[in-house]
Structure 1
Amino acid sequence: MQAAAKLKGWMQVVATVALVTLLAACGGGGGSGSSGSNDSGLPPSPGAQPVAANAGNTAPIMVGPGVANVINIPTVSVKVCVPGTTTCQIINNIQVDTGSFGLRIVSTALLAPLPLAPAPVATGRTLAECTTFADGSSWGTVRTATVQIANETATNIPVQVLGDLPDSSIPSGCVNGAAENTASQIGANGILGIGVAPVDCGINCSNATLAPQFSNYYACIGTACLNTPTQVPTLNQVANPVANFATDNNGVIVQMQPISSSGATSASGTLVFGINTATNNQLTGATVFTTNGSGDLPVSTFNGAKTLAFMDSGSNAYFFSDSSLALCGSNFPGFYCPSSGQTRTVGLVGQNGALANVNVGIQDAAVLFANGNNFAFNDLGGQIGIPGSFDLGLPFFFGRYVYYGIDRTGNGGQAPFVAF
């Protein structure tokens, strides 16, 4: 097995995620049965079932081997078109990431080139973007595309294409550990960032004073890019496709089926677009937590201390720091390997005062990974991440409906929120 880091779309990284690739050499085993894990001490698992993905505002989600045999990667299919033409293709195995904002596509997955996006404040130049995270970075051009998922369409929006520029073009400020530009490095053909923000950078990139220090965009002529970040208005930033749909554009619901505590060979779910816009996306029986602009709950609590909590389908485990949990060692660095099933509780606090205690289960990652046929896990944890944070990754989503309300406060609309 090998570990890697996963790209996060938000320029200010909210998490680092270890990707474990399951190879034949890691072990055999059959199906989704027990892998020998000890599930005593684990909390009860939620049991909500996804709605059928047969309506125009729904898309099926799949967790399985995908393109690179990486665990806990939820994926959908996305149709990408050259704007104003019928030149389109369906790209499978695009990761569903509620912790980032905007569509990013691995360049080798594109059959036809998309038009380059101009740099608004650098005449004659085009845009490229550097997405940095805790132990790596991605680099590629910004282009325009019409994006369709199910029957929902976002017309002519900025997207990022990963790995389509040479290393020689990378600005010095972008180099940050390993490159994350290919399907094998990411674990998918791209990343669909559908969290609460409508664009991937906001005021840090659009403000003329802040942009020189905080922008993740650069102006280029061909493969020659300036070494200084450039200002980019929000209209030209890589955009959350959902926020640009004609309808069902105020949020999403991620629904994943419940799975066994010992893992499963695969898991399915449904991505539902819109909240309270149709009969299949009503916000009922859920607690609503208003968040900051990144979808975080910054005054939550864990082990008696304030912590920044967030729900991120793009993280393949629960990630938090807890010195009482044994680590796995060099085979699975960063993951927890307790001798028996463990329960930990994070107290979520919304900016609206909403409260909830969430119990999460942690099992021995080495035991779980011993079955090389299992790719879905609901009780996997590790300490990789930002100190003082609690990342409720994909294991949190199994058996739940998790809602994300897109930030519309810039237009006098709804505040960003998460709910479950």
Structure 2
Amino acid sequence: MRTMQSAVKLRGWVQAVVAVALVSVIAACGGGGGGDSGSSNNSSSVLNGGSLPASPTQQPIAATAANTVPITVARGVSGVINIPTVSVTVCAPGSSTNCQTIDNIQLDTGSFGLRVVSSVLNQSVLGALPVNTIGTSNAQLAECATFADGYTWGTVRNATVAILNPTAGIGGETTATGIPIQIIGDLASSTVPAKGCTGVAENTVSDLGANGILGIGTAPNDCGVNCENVNFSNYFACPGGSSCTPTALAPAQQVANPVAHFATDNNGVIVQMPPVSNTGASSATGTLVFGIGTQSNNALAATQTFTTDPFGNMANSVFNGTTMQAFFDSGSNAYFFA
């Protein structure tokens, strides 16, 4: 999924602001090696009539430390290809027991913030997540996160977000306090605003292709100063949960990138996947590492770095001799060119 400056996203079927400078590192480990038994592992495989270069052999960092969690790319909930997923635990603010771990949450380096489909939450947890309000009338706060081919619509609620490591059986990363998240599909379709929220609704698991989205891109919140202007805001005030109208919203109240709110290892992430055969694989398992230069397993050892703008865009990328804007997006399930 891809959040643009105007909050338009590329659906993920598959700022660095002054307050927090987040770094995303996506390790390019793919291209050859493992795969299913029917796949060729020849580094010079011929694919689609062309010879491929030698494949890399780097393996992901082991998902055995407290600041790591496994990434799975498999059939997911809808059989859509190339969707990396992780498990996320959502807790009622201030509670360590009223929690639910949700699998098949899409890992998205191209957006910012946690969004969970309401139907996958049990009523105990969902009912304990307070709906955020705005204005003197305490209108419910909702968001329309728009995509290139649709949108997610639902309330903004506070929750404690934890990303734990069931493999390591220890530790994990947890937000220090409750943070704003979006609950997708918890408002009636009749409340969808006619202006600023158009296209195909992606408010169910089958439509979204996942149980939710974990946006861990380079910004600490989903639209920053843009949403302080009511004309560009994704957010809506809904008195009584209806009659929703656009509203300006300060960054601190916006759907937040959980990584920026971890007590430690909160300055970025590393996304690594293993080599995959040139002819594909039925599944793959990688590692999500939290923090950059904060632990022995997350040193920034890259020989080349790419600087982005506040929204994760690289303005000086070159394709076929033409300079253009590009971005890394784990939430898109293919390479796309304008």
Bin the TM-score by the shorter chain.
0.7 to 0.9
Please report how far the alpha carbon of residue 15 of structure 1 lies from its aligned counterpart in structure 2 after TM superposition.
5.2
Give the whole-Å Cα distance in 2 for the aligned partners of 1:14 and 1:46. 34
Aligned with 2:107: secondary structure? strand
**Which structure 2 residues correspond to residues 375-414 of structure 1 after superposition, within 5 A?**
387=338
* Mapped pair 1:19 → 2:6: no
What is the match of residue 104 of structure 1?
Answer: 115
**Retained in 1: the 8 A contact 2:2–2:329?**
no
Q: Could you list the per-position Cα deviations for residues 278-305 of structure 1 after superposition, in whole angstroms to 9, with x for gaps in the alignment?
A: 0000001332222101111022121222
Structure 1: segments with no counterpart, 5+ residues: 1-6, 21-29, 321-386, 388-420
Specify which of 226, 230, 233 is matched with residue 215 of structure 1: 233
* Mapped pair 1:265 → 2:286: no
Q: Do the aligned partners of residues 55 and 225 (structure 1) sit closer, same or farther apart at CA in structure 2, a change above 3 Å counting?
A: farther
* Mapped pair 1:63 → 2:77: no
Paired residue type of 2:184: L
Q: Could you list the per-position Cα deviations for residues 225-264 of structure 1 after superposition, in whole angstroms to 9, with x for gaps in the alignment?
A: 333x111111110000000000000000001011001110
**Retained in 2: the 8 A contact 1:218–1:225?**
no
Q: Could you list the per-position Cα deviations for residues 92-134 of structure 1 after superposition, in whole angstroms to 9, with x for gaps in the alignment?
A: 0101100000000011111121433433445311210001122
What is the match of residue 87 of structure 1?
Answer: 98
What is the match of residue 145 of structure 1?
Answer: 159
Give the whole-Å Cα distance in 1 for the aligned partners of 2:241 and 2:5. 22
What is the match of residue 163 of structure 1?
Answer: 185
**Retained in 1: the 8 A contact 2:5–2:311?**
no
**Retained in 2: the 8 A contact 1:103–1:241?**
yes
Structure 2: segments with no counterpart, 5+ residues: 15-34, 41-45, 165-171
Please report how far the alpha carbon of residue 11 of structure 1 lies from its aligned counterpart in structure 2 after TM superposition.
6.2
Q: Do the aligned partners of residues 238 and 11 (structure 1) sit closer, same or farther apart at CA in structure 2, a change above 3 Å counting?
A: farther
Give the whole-Å Cα distance in 1 for the aligned partners of 2:132 and 2:70. 34
Percent identical: 56
What is the match of residue 190 of structure 1?
Answer: 212
Aligned with 1:299: secondary structure? strand
Please report how far the alpha carbon of residue 32 of structure 1 lies from its aligned counterpart in structure 2 after TM superposition.
5.1
* Mapped pair 1:281 → 2:295: no
Structure 2 length-normalised TM: 0.84
Give the whole-Å Cα distance in 1 for the aligned partners of 2:120 and 2:303. 38
Aligned with 1:306: secondary structure? strand
What is the match of residue 374 of structure 1?
Answer: none
Q: Which has the higher contact order (CA 8 A, sep 6+)?
A: 2
Give the whole-Å Cα distance in 2 for the aligned partners of 1:39 and 1:259. 19
Give the whole-Å Cα distance in 1 for the aligned partners of 2:137 and 2:231. 20
Please report how far the alpha carbon of residue 43 of structure 1 lies from its aligned counterpart in structure 2 after TM superposition.
3.5
- Give the paired residue count: 301
Give the whole-Å Cα distance in 2 for the aligned partners of 1:10 and 1:165. 24
Give the whole-Å Cα distance in 1 for the aligned partners of 2:136 and 2:217. 29
Q: Do the aligned partners of residues 11 and 68 (structure 1) sit closer, same or farther apart at CA in structure 2, a change above 3 Å counting?
A: farther
Specify which of 245, 259, 262 is matched with residue 242 of structure 1: 259
Bigger drift between 255-264 and 131-140 goes to 131-140
